[in-house]
C-alpha cells in the first residue's frame, strides 16, 4: 500500500484564470488539510510551446504568487518549480522508453494544441504527457487534483505505471494514480463559446476571467458573456445543449460551493441579467482579493524566490531517493 500523497502542477504560461482556479487550485487548497501535498509550477511543460524567456521568469513567480494568494500554506505543502528538480527530466527519459508512440498519437490535447500543422509542433509537445507522468510518478503520488481536460493524461500515467511495474517485474512499485476532478464543474468553458474550454491562450481576453482582473473588468466580462434567448430553466435536463447557460450556472454553483439544483431553484424562470449580476458579485468577492494579493506578492520577489528554493530542496529529497530506486530497477548506475 502506498501512502496517500497529492501531486499537481500548473503551467506558467500567462494569466491564471477562473478555469485554473475552479478546476484545480481551489481543490489544491481543500486538500492541503487532509494530505501530504506537492504543488509544482511546471515550467518545463510551458516551453513545449515557444515562450519569451523574460516573460517566462515573471510567469513562474506569478504562478507561485497565485498559489499562495489562493490560500496554499507554504509551510504545510511542498511548493516549487519543476526545473529545479532534475529528477523529473531524468525519469521522463526513462518513461519515453516505456511509453509507446501509439499512446502519444491518441492524446487529444496534442491534436488540439498542434492543430493542423502537426509536423511543425515540437517533439516536446508530443511527449508532454510522459513528462507529466514523470512529475507524478517521481513522488509516487497516489492522487492528482486536475480539471477534466487532464483526465486522458492521467489515464496514460496509469498505463505507464502498470507497464513499468510489469516490464521490470516490480509489482506495485509505482502506484496507480487516481484523478481528483471537481464534481460541480469539471471544465470551465469560455465566456464567448460554451463549447470551448476557458484557456490562457484564447486570443479574446473576454473569453476568461483572469485572477488579476478588477471589479469593473469582471462586471463587464460577465455582462458580455454569451447566453441564449430562453429564460433560465428550472431543471438540469432542460440545460442540455444550452452550453453557455450551463457554463454560467455551473460557475455560479462552483464558486458558491452549492449544487446546480439549488442554483436552478433560485434562478429558474428568471432572465440571465439577474443571474449575471449575482454571478459577478460572487466572482468579485472571491477572485478580487486573490488578484490583489498576487499583485502585492509580486513586489516581494526575494520572498517568492525563497519559497521556491525551500520547496525545491524538500521535493529533491523525495525525488532523488525514488530515482535511485528506479535506476536500480532499470539497471542504470550513476558513478560519482
Report which of 123, 213, 236 is spatially closest to residue 114, judged by C-alpha positions.
123
Taking CB under 6 A as the binding criterion, the range among 91-99, 154-162, 196-204, 323-331 that sits at the site for ligand AQP is: 196-204
Taking CB under 6 A as the binding criterion, the range among 7-15, 80-88, 274-282, 288-296 that sits at the site for ligand AQP is: 7-15
**Number of residues in contact with ligand AQP under rule CB under 6 A:** 18
Distance of closest approach, residue 42 Cβ to ligand AQP, in angstroms: 6
Counting contacts by CB under 6 A, is residue 207 touching ligand AQP? no
For this structure, is 140 an active site residue?
no
Counting contacts by CB under 6 A, is residue 158 touching ligand AQP? no
Which SS3 state, helix, strand or coil, does residue 267 take? helix
Distance (Å, whole) CA 238 – CA 228: 13
Counting contacts by CB under 6 A, is residue 221 touching ligand AQP? no
Closer residue to ligand AQP, CB minimum distance, 165 or 186: 186
- Is residue 307 within 8 Å of residue 68, measured between CB atoms? yes
Question: CB under 8 Å to 139, separation ≥6 — which residues?
Answer: 5, 7, 38, 315, 318, 319, 322
Q: Is 5 left (phi over 0), alpha (psi -120 to 50) or beta?
A: beta
For this structure, is 113 an active site residue?
yes
Distance (Å, whole) CA 323 – CA 328: 8
For this structure, is 111 an active site residue?
no
Counting contacts by CB under 6 A, is residue 44 touching ligand AQP? no
Closer residue to ligand AQP, CB minimum distance, 95 or 146: 146
Distance (Å, whole) CA 134 – CA 93: 9
What is the Cβ-side half-sphere exposure of residue 211, based on CA atoms within 13 angstroms?
A: 27
User: Which of 66, 157, 199, 250 lies at the binding interface for ligand AQP (CB under 6 A)?
Assistant: 199
Counting contacts by CB under 6 A, is residue 211 touching ligand AQP? no
Counting contacts by CB under 6 A, is residue 197 touching ligand AQP? yes
Taking CB under 6 A as the binding criterion, the range among 9-17, 86-94, 216-224, 307-315 that sits at the site for ligand AQP is: 9-17
Place of cell 515573471: 58
Distance of closest approach, residue 40 Cβ to ligand AQP, in angstroms: 10
In the set 196, 200, 215, 310, the catalytic residue is 200
In this structure, how many other beta carbons lie within 10 angstroms of the beta carbon of residue 320? 14
Distance (Å, whole) CA 197 – CA 186: 10
Question: Which residues have a catalytic role annotated?
Answer: 113, 197, 200
Binding site for ligand AQP (CB under 6 A): 10-11, 13, 19-20, 23-24, 146-147, 149-150, 187-188, 197-201
Amino acid at each position: 500500500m502506498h501512502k496517500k500523497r497529492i501531486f499537481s502542477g500548473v503551467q506558467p504560461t500567462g494569466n491564471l484564470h477562473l478555469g485554473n482556479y475552479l478546476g484545480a487550485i481551489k481543490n489544491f487548497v481543500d486538500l492541503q488539510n487532509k494530505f501530504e501535498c506537492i504543488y509544482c509550477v511546471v515550467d518545463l511543460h510551458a516551453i513545449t510551446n515557444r515562450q519569451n524567456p523574460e516573460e517566462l521568469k515573471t510567469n513562474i513567480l506569478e504562478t507561485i504568487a497565485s498559489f499562495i494568494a489562493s490560500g496554499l500554506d507554504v509551510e504545510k505543502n511542498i511548493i516549487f518549480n519543476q526545473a529545479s528538480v532534475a529528477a523529473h527530466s531524468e525519469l521522463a527519459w526513462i518513461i519515453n522508453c516505456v511509453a509507446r508512440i501509439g499512446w502519444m498519437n491518441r492524446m487529444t490535447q496534442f491534436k488540439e494544441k498542434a492543430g493542423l500543422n502537426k509536423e511543425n509542433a515540437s517533439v516536446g509537445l508530443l511527449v508532454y504527457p510522459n513528462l507529466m507522468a514523470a512529475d507524478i510518478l517521481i513522488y509516487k503520488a497516489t492522487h492528482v487534483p486536475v480539471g477534466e481536460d487532464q483526465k486522458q493524461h492521467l489515464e496514460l500515467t496509469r498505463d505507464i505505471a502498470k507497464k513499468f511495474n510489469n516490464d521490470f517485474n516490480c509489482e506495485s512499485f509505482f502506484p496507480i494514480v487516481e484523478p481528483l476532478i471537481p464534481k460541480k464543474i469539471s471544465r470551465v468553458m469560455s465566456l464567448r463559446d460554451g463549447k470551448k474550454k476557458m484557456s490562457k491562450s484564447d486570443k479574446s481576453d473576454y473569453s476568461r476571467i483572469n485572477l488579476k482582473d478588477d471589479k469593473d473588468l469582471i462586471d463587464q466580462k460577465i455582462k458580455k458573456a454569451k447566453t441564449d434567448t430562453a429564460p433560465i430553466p428550472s431543471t438540469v435536463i432542460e440545460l442540455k445543449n444550452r452550453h453557455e447557460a450551463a457554463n454560467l450556472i455551473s460557475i455560479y454553483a462552483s464558486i458558491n460551493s452549492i449544487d446546480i439544483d439549488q442554483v436552478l431553484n433560485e434562478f429558474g424562470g428568471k432572465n440571465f441579467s439577474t443571474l449575471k449580476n449575482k454571478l459577478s458579485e460572487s466572482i468579485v468577492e472571491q477572485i478580487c482579493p486573490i488578484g490583489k494579493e498576487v499583485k502585492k506578492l509580486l513586489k516581494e520577489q526575494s520572498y517568492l524566490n525563497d519559497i521556491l528554493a525551500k520547496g525545491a530542496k524538500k521535493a529533491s529529497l523525495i525525488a532523488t531517493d525514488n530515482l535511485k530506486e528506479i535506476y536500480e530497477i532499470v539497471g542504470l548506475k550513476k558513478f560519482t
